[in-house]
Structure 1
Amino acid sequence: MTIRSARKDLQEQKREKLDRQRKMTLSGALLGSAIPFMPAPMVIAMGLAAAYITLGINTQAKEIDKPLVWDSQFEEAELTDCDLRRSTYFGQVMPYQEWKDNIEEVRNQKGRVTADDVRKTLNDVYPQMMPFMLTDDQMTRHVALLAATGTGKTELLLSIIQQQIRKGAGLILVEAKSDSDFAGSIYAMMKEANRLDQFKLINFEYPEQSHTYNPVYSGGVRATLSTLMKIQANSSEEFWTDIARYTLTAATLVLKLQPGSPAFNIKDMIALLSDFDLLRAYTKRIRPEESKYHREGMDWLYSYLRNWWKNDEEGWNYNQYKTLTQGLISKLSSFAHSEYSSIVNTYAPDVDLKESILNNEVVVLSMSSLADKDGVELFGKLFISDLARAVGEIQLEKSKPLAMNPAIFDEYPSFMDESQVQLFQLARSANVPIIIAFQGVGFLENISPAFVEMVLGNCWHHLYCDVRDSKTREFAVKLAGSVITKMESTAEGSSTGNSHASDEAGLVANQNDGESATVSTKSQREEMIQPEDFSTLDQGDGILVGKSGTYRIRMPLVRNKFPNVQFGDMQLVRRRPKGRSGIYAWDEFTKKNKQLFERT
């Protein structure tokens, strides 16, 4: 698709209109002069009138072509063809059937094919390979990258990221290795592009070098509840899941309906879940007269609080409340201290995912699953749930960015969740393609086989590197499909016979010659990809299975000259965020705890 200027289109329409007027004027003058017995003065007058009108038309045409001056220092330049800016380069490819023909030719010559033969063949055919570009529209159908460690996965992701940065577009990266080389390269790319003001880093290993982010800052009650319910996602007990949803709904409603709609954070949520009296106190501050939603919310909260009233003792059941909320509190408490607390408990976060998508920001969430596996899993789910909220709001507002803004999930199984399938289904409408990178199908099956089908089924393009597990190879073979192979064999034979006799027989010699040839053909259906094909893939090699076919691909191995800036050496740009006034429920809760501690 070529991007054109609306003003240029209007100029072209005006130019065509003036051209038609010029032709009609000249034609009228010529036809008038050709009329028999037309007086000479009349012919001269018509010629002068045509010349005058044509001169005016030419003046208007010059005005149209004059560049538009927006400012004394800037002039509008011609808009170049933007096809390449609307595509993403993945590497050089050759149709897989053509690649197999080249390998089969080597097999026919040598009788067998070794790994060195495959490498030599790849080098020989590389000049014949074509650039493989995915348009933005194709990218929004999502991409799955299945690759073992050291096969070129990170280099390909860096290539995609570098293209986004140079286009002036944004992206969101979630990675679970806290890889300073990965994030450092992105930082250096942004610095080279003079875009450090659009670079946002969330890093729990170096909280002092991290931007702040509050997963419950934006969104309505349902979106916030959906985000917070991720802490109960792995529970197999339906009872505790229902209790969690019921209690979180109440606490979220209380915080959301406060006068002036102040901001709150996870600590404030913990305070209300830990102190039943504090929950009641904040419920009383809600003003039902503010809106219909405040009135309906209060009615629901009355019914919720009624469940904790003990009729026989005429009092509140504090002990049961503490017992049933203790599980939620314990899971949320990891965000109330240590590195997490300073980043997520803020009323003025540096990162808002919706604004980041719309403003072409590059957001990197870097976590270490080795240091805190459970924390990475939980926070990754919270982050992606908030991303789904942002995508949903962009979809409803019809405000998607002009350039695509990919969400890249590296080591995806570290924070995957079954509810994320909906994000794959809806992200396209917000111009947010999803790229998931992981080591094999078996990791996704930890949730369910159906999850594998739903996630990978929503990805139009799959790129397989040197994957070692048999399940992933079988999945790729099945996905690529089969082809009909025609084999032809030829058999040729010849015979010669001689006979001799005596002189008495009168026959001296007899010679017989014979030739025969047989050609047989056989057609059979076979899989396009064979499982053993993966063993011949070196670093940077892959098999691409997409809507347009199956290809042998040579991926770009990015060896950039950018320095790998360590987390501690990054100079992040910090701007004072807008923010909102806060609730400070945690401060009230802490004050009550201190008073209780001092009394005892």
Structure 2
Amino acid sequence: MRNPRQAEEPFVARVLRQVFIGFPLALAEKIEGVLRQLEKPKKAWWFVLVMGAVSAALVLGGGAFWRFIARIFGFHLWDPSWKIILGLGVFYLAYLAGLMPVFLLVAWFNREAKDSLFKRRHEKRPASDLLVRRHRLRSTRHQVYAGESFYRRKPVYLTNDQRVMHTHVLGSTGTGKTESVLLPILAHDIAHKKGAIVIDGKGDKELLDRILYLVEATGRMNDFHYFSLAHPNESHTYNPLLRGNATELKDKLIGSMAWSEVFYRDMAEQAALTLLKAFLDAGRYVTFRDLYTCLTDEHSLGRLAKEVTDVSIQDDLAVMVRRFKDNKKFLSGLMANLFIASRSEFSALLDVPEPEIDLLRVYEQNEICYFALDLERYQDTSRRLGRMILQDIRAVSSYVKSDMSKLNRHFFPVFVDDAASFLDLNFIDFLNKARAAGFGIMLLHQSLADLEFRGAMNFPKQVIENTNIKIILRQDDPQSIERLAKIGGTSRTMISTYQTEEKLLGKGLTGVGSIREGQTFRIDPDLIRALRLGEAVMLWKSPSFFTDYVQLDFIGYPTFKGVWPVSKKGKSAGTRKPTKKTQSVRPPEESTDILQTPPEGREDDSEYPFERLDNLHKTPAMPEKTEETEGPSA
């Protein structure tokens, strides 16, 4: 059935409606739009100046203007016809002036209605430096300030209980993973007397300077350890084979190497396990040089067999001696890797029986350890050593769970920058079990595609499943963006349709439309594409599901002004014998250091540690507002 035709509005009625309603309302909308911009006086000062000048000119020079017009056209203002025109003009101006507040109110409600249809539910509002500083100083030992919500205007904190379920940070090159995520959280941990291990694949000297600044500002230089492949003269020594039983050491060694054939890997595992059991049985420290010597020198292997007391190990060594000539064929890969570790320029840092860096002691005493692995200069060696460090951390985690009571365990963060270069297929088991030992691992890399290696297509899914917190900076790959948006899921929303009509100053809403329920992404894919430097989307699923669009914290660009390396005299080395157990030490809940002592007049001492670092915490100036894409709901 056809709808009856509506009667057409008379022409006079349309004209009167436009004159008395359309034009005043359009003028009110323009004025309301300008008033909204008055929050930025540098942009709107000219408008106020021009409007004031025009008003003053009309008031002061109105009579002279009309007299000038009358003289040109030769009429008198007080003729009856002009009296009517002037009266109508004065009436219309009085009408506009008297009802303009009402029209401004209507224009404001119309703008709010348009915002609900054309714009996102929340407007992006960057936080001020003062607000960021206030929220940062509320960080405690048990929670760290991560940033400010653009939508909710509330701080976002990450608790230790959340971080111990691990953090996954994704961001393209130059998006601020180090400056906005790693360094601010590390600064918090250092200021609150926590320990930390940082594995950096870039080996950037600038990052070392910033970490040294943080360590020096908090008076923790004696707790700091530094290992660098590019600067062996400034580096502390580290032996990844220092701790563990024979099987653990074998896994560290073999797991750090890339194998193309399972047969050669099995042969290398068999030989490495036999040698490591012999070293530990003989009470000798395990070094790469000694392992290489036993594989390449038959007399050294025979001398090791004489030092062993276990009969079964002696028999295994005897078999190796008889097959010594075949070792070069079947163990060539193991020999080559051990040769590189024991004969390279930095072998003096690794091939030591009592190194200065002992990761178990680092955990127990809440020390700070920074590994600078230069992937650009030493690509294969850095990858191999990075995997070995992760295996060493895994061995410490196993020791903590098996030999320490739950009361003696504590939260300990591990930061792995350029993580995709160091992970292997066995890393997922470590993520699954590291939580029980208190290790909170943060993985930082560029894209999910980085994790698709060695034909393990499920590896990215496993990393996603085993990390609670996701911090997503700008992404460029469409497939990664789509997958990350799906991780955030969807939420119910009301989808509006509307009608428009031509008005005096353009199209406008008629007020007629419809609303229906639908689904929308919590994380808009377009938002991930358009994230700026220092901005991120954050989500986690524990303790409750959460998504938000966040202005991340920023540490600034501090530079260490002191001298490094500090004299190593007095540094205690790892003097553990192969069979000795190290007693664990429970860190105090509250430190008695001066950083934890509030100054006079301060009531809350939980805020004080960051004041020593507050001069380097400067929030970067946000770019000018432009048209923005819709983001996730809070």
TM-score tier, shorter chain, comes to 0.5 to 0.7
Shift of 1:255: 0.8
Q: For residues 151 and 546 of structure 1, what CA distance do their matches in structure 2 show?
A: 21
Shift of 1:576: 3.9
1:202 maps to which residue? 227
Q: Determine whether 1:527 maps to 2:518.
A: no
Q: Determine whether 1:339 maps to 2:345.
A: yes
Shift of 1:90: 0.8
Percentage identity across aligned positions?
22
**Superposed, which structure 2 residues align to 1:197-276 within 5 Å?**
197-232=222-257, 234-258=258-282, 261-276=283-298
Shift of 1:256: 1.0
* CA deviation map 1:303-322 (0-9, x unaligned): 563376xxxxxxx3432122
Mark the runs of 5 or more structure 2 residues left unpaired by the alignment: 1-136, 502-509, 579-634
Shift of the 343–565 alpha-carbon distance from structure 1 to 2, 3 Å rule, reads farther
Shift of the 520–571 alpha-carbon distance from structure 1 to 2, 3 Å rule, reads same
TM-score w.r.t. the length of structure 1 is 0.67
Contact 2:148/2:550 (8 A) holds in 1: yes
1:551 maps to which residue? 548
Q: Which stretch has the larger CA shift, 379-388 or 517-526?
A: 517-526
Q: For residues 249 and 491 of structure 1, what CA distance do their matches in structure 2 show?
A: 77
Q: For residues 511 and 296 of structure 2, what CA distance do their matches in structure 1 show?
A: 92
1:299 maps to which residue? 312
Letter in 2 for 1:166: A
1:571 maps to which residue? 566
Contact 1:369/1:376 (8 A) holds in 2: yes
Shift of 1:275: 1.9
Q: For residues 224 and 402 of structure 1, what CA distance do their matches in structure 2 show?
A: 23
Q: For residues 534 and 281 of structure 1, what CA distance do their matches in structure 2 show?
A: 62
Q: For residues 489 and 578 of structure 1, what CA distance do their matches in structure 2 show?
A: 70
Shift of 1:238: 1.2
2:398 maps to which residue? 392
Q: For residues 169 and 239 of structure 2, what CA distance do their matches in structure 1 show?
A: 30
1:311 maps to which residue? none
RMSD after superposition: 2.4
Contact 1:196/1:573 (8 A) holds in 2: no
Contact 1:461/1:544 (8 A) holds in 2: yes
Contact 2:468/2:540 (8 A) holds in 1: yes
Letter in 1 for 2:251: S
Q: Which of residues 348, 356, 372 in structure 2 aligns to 1:366?
A: 372
* CA deviation map 1:254-284 (0-9, x unaligned): 11110xx231211111111112332232122
* CA deviation map 1:484-515 (0-9, x unaligned): 2212345699xxxxxxxxxxxxxxxxxxxxxx
Contact 2:409/2:437 (8 A) holds in 1: no
Letter in 2 for 1:333: F
SS for the counterpart of 1:406 is strand
Shift of the 433–517 alpha-carbon distance from structure 1 to 2, 3 Å rule, reads closer
Contact 1:404/1:433 (8 A) holds in 2: yes
**Superposed, which structure 2 residues align to 1:139-218 within 5 Å?**
139-155=163-179, 156-218=181-243
Letter in 2 for 1:240: Y
SS for the counterpart of 2:345 is helix
1:85 maps to which residue? 141
Shift of 1:236: 2.5
TM-score w.r.t. the length of structure 2 is 0.64
Contact 2:308/2:314 (8 A) holds in 1: no
Q: For residues 261 and 552 of structure 2, what CA distance do their matches in structure 1 show?
A: 45
Contact 1:205/1:339 (8 A) holds in 2: no
Shift of 1:227: 0.6
* CA deviation map 1:174-219 (0-9, x unaligned): 0011111111111111111111000000111111111111111111
Q: Determine whether 1:541 maps to 2:535.
A: yes
1:59 maps to which residue? none
* CA deviation map 1:141-167 (0-9, x unaligned): 100110112212111211011001110
Shift of 1:533: 1.4
Letter in 1 for 2:529: S
Shift of the 301–478 alpha-carbon distance from structure 1 to 2, 3 Å rule, reads farther
1:280 maps to which residue? 302
Shift of the 519–563 alpha-carbon distance from structure 1 to 2, 3 Å rule, reads closer
Q: For residues 532 and 385 of structure 2, what CA distance do their matches in structure 1 show?
A: 35
1:503 maps to which residue? none
Q: Which of residues 467, 470, 474 in structure 1 aligns to 2:475?
A: 467
* CA deviation map 1:526-567 (0-9, x unaligned): 22223221232110011112113110010012115x32469x
2:457 maps to which residue? 449
Q: Determine whether 1:458 maps to 2:458.
A: no
Mark the runs of 5 or more structure 1 residues left unpaired by the alignment: 1-80, 100-127, 289-297, 309-315, 494-515, 583-600
Letter in 2 for 1:456: I
Letter in 2 for 1:189: L
* CA deviation map 1:271-302 (0-9, x unaligned): 111123322321222123xxxxxxxxx31551
1:427 maps to which residue? 434
Q: For residues 175 and 138 of structure 2, what CA distance do their matches in structure 1 show?
A: 32
Contact 2:225/2:357 (8 A) holds in 1: yes
Shift of 1:370: 0.7
SS for the counterpart of 2:412 is coil
Shift of the 490–360 alpha-carbon distance from structure 1 to 2, 3 Å rule, reads same
Q: For residues 475 and 197 of structure 1, what CA distance do their matches in structure 2 show?
A: 44
Q: For residues 492 and 203 of structure 1, what CA distance do their matches in structure 2 show?
A: 66
Shift of 1:231: 4.1
- Alignment length, in residue pairs? 427
**Superposed, which structure 2 residues align to 1:126-137 within 5 Å?**
128-137=152-161
Q: For residues 578 and 519 of structure 1, what CA distance do their matches in structure 2 show?
A: 75
Q: For residues 574 and 140 of structure 2, what CA distance do their matches in structure 1 show?
A: 36
SS for the counterpart of 1:245 is helix
* CA deviation map 1:548-594 (0-9, x unaligned): 3110010012115x32469x843254514252679xxxxxxxxxxxx
* CA deviation map 1:338-367 (0-9, x unaligned): 332110111111111111011010000001
Letter in 1 for 2:241: V
Contact 2:244/2:395 (8 A) holds in 1: yes
Q: For residues 391 and 217 of structure 1, what CA distance do their matches in structure 2 show?
A: 15
Shift of 1:221: 1.1
Q: For residues 382 and 169 of structure 1, what CA distance do their matches in structure 2 show?
A: 24
Contact 1:487/1:523 (8 A) holds in 2: yes
1:45 maps to which residue? none
Q: Which stretch has the larger CA shift, 268-277 or 160-169?
A: 268-277
